[in-house]
Chain A
Amino acid sequence: MNKDVAITDSFGNFFSFLIQELKPRGPWLTPFNIISIPVILTGVGILVYRFIHGLGSVTNLSQETPWGLWMGFDVVTGVALAGGAYVITFVVYVMGVDKYHGIVRATVLNGLLAYSFYGAALLFDIGRPWNAPNPYIGNSFGFSSVLFLICWHFLLYMIAEFVEFSPVIAEWLHLEKAKRFLKKLTLGTVILGITLSILHQSGLGALFLMAKPKVHPLWWSEFIPILFFVSSIYAGLAMIIVEGTVSHRVFSRLIPEKHHDHFDDIVFGLAKGAAITMFVYYFFKALLFIHDGQWDLIVDGWGLWYLVEVIGFVLIPALMFAFGFKHRSLRIIKIAAVMALIGIVLNRMNVSVICYNWYADVHYIPTWQEFVVTFMVIFSELWVFRWFVTRMPVFSADH
């Protein structure tokens, strides 16, 4: 193809191609743009202020509550929601289930961007962000900290996901030889990525092991790493259902016809997986509840809140997934997926923010600036995701 040569034969051509691709496409005045642009600009302003005047100037964080919305949502929750990438790559490349091949690229891209943005968002929440590279450069490595493991896993997993996604970039740049080479790396990086994912998804839970006196006993358990890992599986599956449904509407023209037809079948398969995983997770929670003899804790407001999370947003969506799969109801499955995502957000926020220091007289409530910055991170990720899918063959039929 002549275009191959045109793009890559000289730096000048490549540069002009890149400039061309960076230019905005499509109408500017869309509902998403109208909402997201002011939020992103306000968020940037808040962050400039935060880095000049410190965390206390824009957040309600304190010595007693050092982790707030940014850490709780962007990092602890966001990583769980990005779990779809390792689940799908495992199913497609390791188990060899080709049915889900059509959604691998979009899911990996989603995971890569989620980790990049949520990892970057970690810098907002660190009091002394210039110390962030320390775990990588050997300045007080901190081997004994779970965060050391998480830092390295985040970095390695982002590299693994980039390698998994790199054939798409090579295809975009019409580099056929590079694409063939990069595709050969896929299986190895997928296996590395799955290993890293299992460890850091559970590692995020392990962060709270040492906070036993601070986390409400209904949410704290010595098995919290396993709970975090198992819940990340169905969080990822639910996220793929929701994200895929939205993508199939918003980017409808970019998706080949055969993928459109095939997508319902994929959703049913994901729902089945989510139902089984949530069922296991629910019984694991119940077993821990009984094992720890927490009957006395269930009678107050915290107990009710716990039941809302575990029954309302785990058991009920699990049954809905099973019912939706059995009776081929996409509507029920999609509602269940949204409920499952709410359940994951609730669980992670409960562990890291809401039920943290639950006995304190004054509870932490995020400032409006913290909410704006959180939405800024989400909207920025969506902007970049949109840029990728409208330029690169993410939804391509043949790969």
Chain B
Amino acid sequence: MDSFTYVNIFETKGLEYLLLLCFWGLFVYLIKYLSTPDKKGNDSS
């Protein structure tokens, strides 16, 4: 029976997929974050 081998994430596209998932997650968060500006402070300089 073949033994289980770990996949080296550095040798596959794994990191790229993870980064893209992070990107999309953070991008959606950023858009939501920027969609409602805080009305409190406005320090004109």
Cβ of A293 within 8 Å of any chain B Cβ, yes or no, is: yes
The reply to whether B33 and A326 form a contact with Cβ atoms under 8 Å apart is yes
Let me know if B30 and A279 touch, CB within 8 A.
yes
* CB contact list, B3-45 vs A, under 8 A: 10, 15-16, 19-20, 23, 26-27, 30-31, 33-34, 37-45
- Is A258 an interface residue, CB under 8 A from the partner? no
Who on chain B is nearest to A329 by CB?
A: B43
- Contacts A275-B34, A279-B27, A322-B34 known; A327 to B40 CB distance under 8 Å? yes
Cross-chain contact A326 with B45 (CB below 8 angstroms) = no
Could you tell me the distance between the alpha carbons of A331 and B15 in the complex, rounded to whole angstroms?
Answer: 37
Which residue of A has the minimal Cβ distance to B36? A326
- Assess whether B16 is in contact with A290, with CB atoms less than 8 Å apart: yes
Q: Closest Cβ of chain B: how far from A341's Cβ, in Å?
A: 17
**Assembled-state Cα–Cα distance A276/B34 (Å):** 9
Q: Which of A272, A275, A290, A334 has the most CB of B within 10 A?
A: A290
Which residues of the partner chain A approach B38 to less than 8 Å between Cβ atoms?
326-328
Instruction: Give complex CA distance A330, B37 in Å.
Output: 13
Q: A330, B45: Cβ atoms under 8 Å? A: yes
Which of chain B's residues has its CB closest to A335's CB?
Answer: B45
Whether the pair B34, A290 counts as a contact (CB closer than 8 A) is no
* CA distance in complex: A293, B44 (Å): 44
Interface of chain A, main secondary structure: helix
The total of chain A residues at the interface (CB under 8 A) is 23
A141: interface (CB < 8 Å):
no
| Residue from B38, B40, B45 with most neighbouring chain A CB atoms (10 Å) | B45
A247 to B42, CA, bound (A): 21
Q: Is A287 an interface residue (CB 8 A)?
A: yes
Chain B contact-residue range equals 20 to 34
Does A115 sit at the interface, judged by CB under 8 A?
no
Q: Is A229 interfacial (CB 8 A cutoff)? A: no
Residues of B within 8 A of A328 (CB): 37-43
Q: Taking CB as reference atom, which chain A residue is nearest B14?
A: A290
Identify which of A268, A286, A334 gathers the most chain B CB atoms within 10 Å of its CB: A286
Question: Nearest residue in B to A290 (C-beta to C-beta)?
Answer: B15
Q: For window 259-277 of chain A, which residues contact chain B by CB distance below 8 Å? A: 264, 268, 272, 275-276
B residues less than 8 Å from A326 (CB atoms): 33-34, 37-38
User: Measured between C-beta atoms, what is the minimum distance from A157 to chain B in Å?
Assistant: 31
A181 at the interface (CB under 8 A from B): no
Bound complex: CA of A286 vs CA of B23, how far in Å?
10
B15, B39, B40 — most chain A CB neighbours (10 Å) = B15
**10 tightest Cβ-Cβ pairs between the two chains A and B:** A328-B42, A331-B45, A283-B23, A290-B15, A327-B38, A330-B45, A272-B34, A328-B41, A326-B38, A329-B43
**New A-B pairs, 11, CB < 8 Å, besides A286-B19, A295-B10, A329-B43:** A264-B42, A264-B44, A275-B34, A283-B23, A287-B16, A322-B34, A326-B33, A328-B37, A328-B38, A331-B43, A334-B45
21 contacts across the A-B interface (CB closer than 8 A): A264-B44, A268-B37, A275-B34, A276-B31, A279-B26, A279-B27, A279-B30, A283-B19, A287-B23, A290-B15, A291-B16, A295-B10, A322-B34, A326-B33, A326-B34, A327-B38, A328-B37, A328-B40, A330-B43, A330-B45, A331-B43
- What residues of chain B have their CB less than 8 Å away from a CB belonging to chain A? 10, 15-16, 19-20, 23, 26-27, 30-31, 33-34, 37-45
